[in-house]
Homo-oligomer: A and B are copies of this chain.
Amino acid sequence: MNISELGENGLIESIRREFSSQTHERLVTGIGDDTSVTLQDGSAYLLTTTDTLVEGTHFSLSFTTPVDLGRKSLSVSLSDIASMGGVPLFFLVSLAIPGTTPAHFIDGLYQGLRSAALDSASILIGGNTTSSAHGLMITTTLLGEVPKGEVVLRSGARDRDRVFVTGVLGSAAMGLRVLKGEKGDRRGGTGGYDEAIRSFLDPVPRLRAGRLLSERGIASSMIDVSDGLVGDAGHIATESRVGIEIEREKVPVSGAIYEVDKSIMEHALNGGEDYELLFTVPEDKINALCDITEELGTTVTEIGRVTGGTGVRVIGGDGSEVELSSTGYEHFKG
């Protein structure tokens, strides 16, 4: 069997098994959440996450500017810290660069990193540069922290919790299609597509929302939507040992994008890289959620509920179950 056949989730499962016997008194959560969680001192957990963007897999230099690329490579990690309810602190950047890359490109990349760092009050503390024979690769490792009692894991969802998502979904996947030329000529009145492109190139990590949902004890579980709504809801369902039911008609999409292209509804279920927060809220915390909606810096939409079953079901407008063509974006399957 090769890696394509095994798939990313299969690979992660096999790594998790291989290292399952590891124990450490300071390890709270290792593989299997948005970040690792380790005990830092008496009152705080250290959160750690690493992400790699690969030229040709995650980005094309014909689509993105170096500044956007720099911003996005930090933003995807910031989003992981947000989904744990944490505050970002420090990051490291490991670059593999072809020797022919112009120095001003790298300047732009670091300008983008610096801009995302300023937005999130995190700082660059180290890294590594190395030559690459084929294409650019950026690995960002971000450290953050969260007060001990406030960490929000994937495993905390309980039967009858309600399911919410920040912002709108599917925009990034649509943006990628537009950038790939699959939507034809974009000249004239395609504001929705422009919005989709920006969502793909420069996603906004929901740090403020994640932190508030954690600090106020509102979210029982949380994940960022990077693999697609159904796939990421599946991660919560698996780790929490519950079922999740999503009402398709409630899944929020951008009005401007919907106006130019109705297929956004499909992307909203399965398109990756939205970097919105998907979270569950116990019934008795719904009022607390309503109290802070103004402060979250983004909209919040209820899209379903936690059930006693297993897996993810999507329910259509007529109340029947929607057959899912895919359970989210997987690397190695393309």
Residues of chain A touching chain B, judged by Cβ–Cβ distance below 8 Å, are 1-6, 8, 11-12, 14-15, 18-19, 22-24, 26-27, 30-31, 35-36, 38, 40-42, 46, 48-52, 54, 56-58, 89-90, 92-103, 106-107, 110-111, 114, 117, 123-135, 137, 139, 141, 143, 331-332, 334
A95 to chain B, nearest CB (A): 8
A6, A98, A127, A334 pick with most chain B CB within 10 angstroms: A127
On whether the beta carbons of A92 and B3 are closer than 8 Å, the reply is: no
On whether the beta carbons of A50 and B139 are closer than 8 Å, the reply is: yes
A91 to chain B, nearest CB (A): 9
Residues of chain B with a CB closer than 8 A to A3's CB: 97-103, 106, 131
Residues of chain B with a CB closer than 8 A to A23's CB: 123
Contact of A11 among B36, B106, B123 (CB under 8 A): B106
Residues of chain B with a CB closer than 8 A to A135's CB: 133-134
Residues of chain B with a CB closer than 8 A to A125's CB: 27, 30-31, 36, 38, 48
On whether the beta carbons of B90 and A131 are closer than 8 Å, the reply is: no
Distance, CA A6 to CA B123, complexed state (A): 24
Contact of A31 among B100, B117, B127, B141 (CB under 8 A): B127
Residues of chain B with a CB closer than 8 A to A48's CB: 90, 92, 125-126, 141, 143
On whether the beta carbons of B40 and A40 are closer than 8 Å, the reply is: yes
On whether the beta carbons of A123 and B19 are closer than 8 Å, the reply is: yes
On whether the beta carbons of B2 and A102 are closer than 8 Å, the reply is: yes
State whether A30 and B129 are in contact (beta carbons under 8 Å apart), knowing that A36-B90, A50-B94, A103-B1 are contacts in the complex. no
